[in-house]
Amino acid sequence: MERGSPNGMTAKDRQLAGSRRPFNEGVLTTDQGIPVEETDNSLRAGARGPTLLEDFHLREKIMRFDHERVPERVVHARGSGAHGFFKVYEPLDEYTTADFLTDPDLETPVFVRFSTVQGSRGSTDTPRDVRGFATKFYTRQGNFDLVGNNMPVFFIQDGIKFPDLVHALKPEPHHEMPQAASAHDTFWDFVSLQPETMHHLIWLMSDRALPRSFRMMQGFGVHTFRLVNAHGRSTFVKFHWTPALGTHSLVFDEAQQISGKDPDFNRRDLWEAIDKGQFPSWELGLQLIPQDQVYEFDDIDVLDPTKIIPEELVPVTPVGRLTLNRNPGNFFAETEQVAFCVGNVVPGIDFTNDPLMQARLFSYLDTQLTRLGGANFPQLPINRPVAAVRNHQQDGLHQHETPVGQANYFPNSLGDDLPKPAGAAGFVHFPEAVDGPKERKRSETFSDHYSQATLFWNSMSGWEKEHIVSAYRFELGKVRTMPIRVRMVEHLNRIDHDLAVAVAQGIGVEEPVKSIDNHGRSSPALSQANTAHESIVSRRVAVLVADGVDARALAGLRDTLTQRGAVVELLAPVDGSVATSDGVPMEVDRALPTMASVLYDAVVVPDGAPGLAQNGLAVHFAAEAFKHGKAVGAFGSGLDLLQRGQIPLPTAAADPALIAHDTWSATFVSELVTALAMHRNFDRDVTAVPA
């Protein structure tokens, strides 16, 4: 983007501009007009070495990007948070000196913030997007911030490209559209010109980008970090969060409808679960790689943030549990003002030379200076460590402390030399040997951009592949520039030929000729079809009722589901109460016109209210839930409503999530619980059901 139009310039300005323009015309420069050699790689000490602070282009580019928004975050603006604690199972002294990972008796306080990436603070909760999963551990050694996402890889390999990525992803600058959506030309133009994005893109096109709940979402540290033990031995590590409720997602049509019906869907879900005492939890798992084994993986560089290490190569070792048990007292003071910094590590945890991580070490701290009004943001209550803070920093905006004493420097003789460095007891950076030429160059070990995208595709179940194809078709179908669509199909053809053909058929692009063979490798851990399917805790069940509903069956259904932890709500054509079969009025929770099936995990139509089959909203409610693969149950006269909605009534073996009984029985609710626990039946044939 060229700045400085001659309009409104003085004669001297125009003369100076004219004298300068020929030299730099069409050339990328810094804000000082210095021509930039290249802008895809930061300056490093060797191709796999650490990023150098002297890279003024990197620092200026990211600094300018960090300060583009005031006061909301540039990315991850829309968030939800909660307090909780973490406990490690067994001491991990073999790997680290980090206090919270070595003392099983210790409950370390945490604050976790979940977020979407693209949208503004006022956007919806359920767009197709990456989700942030950032955890602040208030440890006795200081704060450790694990600032991760719900996907284990990222779009780009070098942080110098982050401003370009987000500029392309955000609403287009000429008309500020679309909000919280990647389905537009600038995003797909950028990624189609950056092959390194292909692995993360296929994750983004999967159901991982549409989590059912923050409580049913995995989290990953993305980068390879380093653990260091008391003997100075280094172990590379990747952090994984696995939800106790399993990893589950919405379908895209459902997510789009929820954006209109309840844009706070995920935020409300988290808040209400904690408010009810159904505290969400995640297991922390570590992939541990001894330093002398980091070069033993074929086609995988552990410093490349666009790659995973498949669990078949390095298993995930469960080491502890995170539990969230308290909602914030004030959204702005806590969830909005919490400041995560990748550079916040404690003794026993250190960085690696991942070039994306290296840029984040600068970017996150720099961002807080604008967003939270200066350098004293760590003094805000939500950011304040439980460890004592003693240093010689002073003054600045929003200084909350009142330092006392004469000496504000070190060394000093006027204050007994206090506070003074801890020496070996303090944070000691791992003494990694670094030697290499200063160069803007990427390691050749980062050059494979397709094989792990193929691995992900191969690992998907049939319904997951269908959803991915549909996502590519939808997103690229919104792209108006045909050459961008063509470029993307060419990339997909290097991932899997069948995938490329299926997408091309849906977006008006000529089917490509097969160029490479699929390598055939897969990793079952990548498929959500293989996640946990045991719990129905906090699952939302809509029971459609009207006058005459079977009171005994309704009570048994409600009691059993509630005892198992589900949330049951009675929905009637109008608010108030209904007269049950025993003549006793029963209060309903919601009126049908105010709700929608997309806000629930299951729908039940009990016996005794035949008039419901004539209610168009009720019929649509059940049919839509069926089309989205949800558990749908009915018995007695409730079957009439299913038939009115053209929902087929097969045997349980044909559709285990469709429970259709002639009469109420304990078997009905048992089958419903099993269906609810399986999350969805995505193999269901919905072609005969009206839209």
Tokens matching residue 671: 């089958």
Using alpha carbons, select from 518, 551, 562, 529 the residue that is nearest to residue 629.
529
DSSP H or E segment with residue 473: helix 462-477
Examine the residue annotation and report whether 412 is marked as an active-site residue of this protein: no
Handedness of CA 422, 428, 431, 435 (dihedral sign): negative
DSSP letter at 341? Answer: -
Using alpha carbons, select from 634, 630, 628 the residue that is nearest to residue 678.
630
Contact 222, 502 (CB under 8 A): no
Q: How far apart are CA 204 and CA 199, in angstroms?
A: 9
3-class DSSP state of 223: coil
Contact 571, 563 (CB under 8 A): no
In degrees and rounded to multiples of 5, residue 668 shows phi and psi of: -60, -50
β pairing state of 577-579 and 585-587? antiparallel
From the candidates 41, 57, 76, 200, which is the catalytic residue?
76
Neighbours of 423 (CB within 10 A): 7
From the candidates 41, 57, 143, 149, which is the catalytic residue?
149
Examine the residue annotation and report whether 76 is marked as an active-site residue of this protein: yes
Q: How far apart are CA 439 and CA 44, in angstroms?
A: 6
Helix 482-495 crosses helix 451-459 at what angle (to 10 degrees)? 80
3-class DSSP state of 220: strand
DSSP H or E segment with residue 571: strand 567-572
DSSP letter at 232? Answer: -
Q: How far apart are CA 507 and CA 496, in angstroms?
A: 17
Query: Which amino acid, one-letter code, is at 660?
Result: A
Using alpha carbons, select from 190, 186, 191 the residue that is nearest to residue 173.
186
Q: How far apart are CA 144 and CA 98, in angstroms?
A: 10
Q: How many residues does the chain have?
A: 691
Question: Cα 397 to chain center, whole Å?
Answer: 33
Q: How far apart are CA 123 and CA 413, in angstroms?
A: 55
The residues annotated with a catalytic role in the active site are 76, 149
